[in-house]
Amino acid sequence: MTNTWTDRWNERYANNEFAYGEEPNNYLKEQLTQLPIGNILFPAEGEGRNAVFAAQLGWKVTAFDISNEGQKKAFQLAEKNKVSVDYQIGELANLGYKAEQFDAIALIYAHFPANLKSKLHQELDQYLRKGGIVIFEAFSKNHLEYLAKNDKVGGPKDIESLFSIDEIKADFHNYEIITLEETVIELNEGFFHNGQGSVIRFVGRKK
């Protein structure tokens, strides 16, 4: 990750207000409450809203991001909600996670740089046990038309950083597909996800 990328997210998370709110993502909430509690990993977790929600349900929560400001906010939110989250700063390869450590991985608007996104998805696979679940929601390539109408809905402005169903099938080729769809939803998450957007939603079980 470049310094420019890190600086961008530190700037976004530096304010007192939570950029994407304090409430969990709706799709994560819906999916996570259906799973048996275990160990879960949140890549690119930002200010911690989803990690804290999982901890409130009783999950053992691990998260990482490149933003120190995001980590500070996550610890603040965890303390407010009286839960504990293991949140590291750094890139995946350097964080020391163990093979098959996690029962679930939640990728919620984890928009990595375009040249890294598929590689990181495939690297994450080794840390999920067989039978483990991936929960994914992020903007689709068709989201650009919604972003053009309303920049308050947020999301990357370059098509390469957005996702398609075919990309998810390729990145998670060794998964049983439970759900994989492109759909239009209404977002109301803090300051930066507001309005209609096109997303990919995926739930898969590792074979």
With CA atoms as reference, report the closest residue to 168 among 126, 118, 120. Answer: 118
Q: For each successive 10 residues of the chain (207 residues), what is the average pLDDT?
A: 86 96 98 98 98 98 97 98 98 95 98 94 98 98 98 96 98 98 98 98 98
The pLDDT value recorded for residue 1 is 62
Q: What's the pLDDT score for residue 24?
A: 98
User: Cα separation of 28 and 158, whole Å?
Assistant: 25
Q: What is the pLDDT of residue 94?
A: 94
pLDDT the model gives residue 69: 97
* C-alpha span between 103 and 8 (Å, rounded): 31
Q: What is the 3-state secondary structure (H, E, C) of 158-188?
A: CHHHCECHHHHHHHCCCEEEEEEEEEEEEEE
What's the farthest any 2 CA atoms get from each other in the chain? 44
Gap between the Cα atoms of 165 and 180, Å rounded: 7
Q: Name beta bridge partners: 163.
A: 140
pLDDT for 3 equals 83
Picking from 203, 200, 201, 199, the residue whose alpha carbon sits closest to that of residue 177 is 203
Helices and strands, number each (H, E), in the chain: 7, 7
